[in-house]
Structure 1
Amino acid sequence: MKFLNKTLPILSILIYIISVSQIAFKTGYMGEIRIYYSYEVLLVGGISFLGGGIPETFVWSTNFWYLLSLFFTKNKKYKEAIIFSIIATLISMSFMLWKEVLWSESGSTASILSLEIGYFLWVISMIILLVNSILLSYKKDS
């Protein structure tokens, strides 16, 4: 039980932190390739709606759902943690379906050329927390 209570959430947090230091994805627009680092996306993603990036802000909200899930896991409210982990996991994984992201405030979009290790580590951190919450809920109920 200690493994579930402490080790998996800490592993999830560590992977999340590592993901922030990595490249998240690459885009292409009119022959120009741009690399998006995860820390950039984390810092400005929450305000991308100001430039018209409502869908981008929605994906960024995954970070909020992840933090809520951590909070509920720590406070042993596993059903709530599961709900918020599912939301975080599904939203984060939905980005894999995207073909384009907002390039500029004018509304032009750039093609997503590749998803990189930072993105995949970010998703893995969400999945670990979801699995942990499910296992803790199961243990609590049995």
Structure 2
Amino acid sequence: MNSSQKKYLRLSIVMLTVLFFAVSLPLNGFSYQYIDVETPKGYSLLLMGGLAFIGGGLFETLIWTANPIALIAIICFLKESSTIIKIHPVLKTVIPKPKLRSYWLSALAAAIAWSFSLWNEVLAAESGSMGKIVSLGSGYWLWVSSFTILAIGIYYFPFKGVVSESIK
């Protein structure tokens, strides 16, 4: 696999992840029963999820942390998979590539996101009242899919060159 194909594959993994994530934002995240059935949109969950700990939602904030973890994984992946060989300016030697952290970070983000599907209740009010989760919306499934695609893509990326060259 040549460097332009690797660059295209790397960009495809990131763009597909970002596309799924962006499409999930205007869709329903999940529905829960408190007084009435509430169905927050993905963008409100993204904007307010990080502040859930203020109302006592420690576990809800933990689920929200999948977002910044995935962002860090994308940044690490772009650094780790760079095709540019860097030479130290003073020592004139090749600078070694950073250790692979992106796969573990993306797998952690996906695991955190998937773990929400096991929940039965979610914090419904700042008083600490819980609401029963009625259903998971299409926004949730696209959100989880974006992190799953990222983890699978990052895992697959280093093997793509090895597999294609061994077939030739």
Question: What TM-score do the two structures reach when normalised by structure 2?
Answer: 0.79
**Number of aligned residue pairs:** 141
Equivalent position of 2:93 in the other structure: none
Q: Does 1:26 align with 2:26?
A: no
**In the TM superposition, what whole-angstrom CA distance separates every residue of 1:50-76 from its partner, at most 9, and x where no partner exists?**
000000000000001110111011112
Distance 1:123 1:103 in 2: 22
Q: Choose which of 32, 36, 39 in structure 1 pairs with 2:40.
A: 36
Unaligned runs of 5+ in 1: none
Q: Choose which of 66, 72, 81 in structure 2 pairs with 1:62.
A: 66
Q: Choose which of 46, 53, 65 in structure 2 pairs with 1:49.
A: 53
Larger Rg: 2
Question: What TM-score do the two structures reach when normalised by structure 1?
Answer: 0.93
Moved over 6 A (4+): none
Distance 2:77 2:114 in 1: 21
Equivalent position of 1:99 in the other structure: 120
Which of the two has greater helix per residue?
A: 1
Tell me how far 1:4 sits from its aligned partner.
2.3
1:108-127, aligned counterparts within 5 Å? 108-127=129-148
Question: For the aligned residues, what is the CA RMSD?
Answer: 1.6
Query: Percent identity over the alignment?
Result: 33
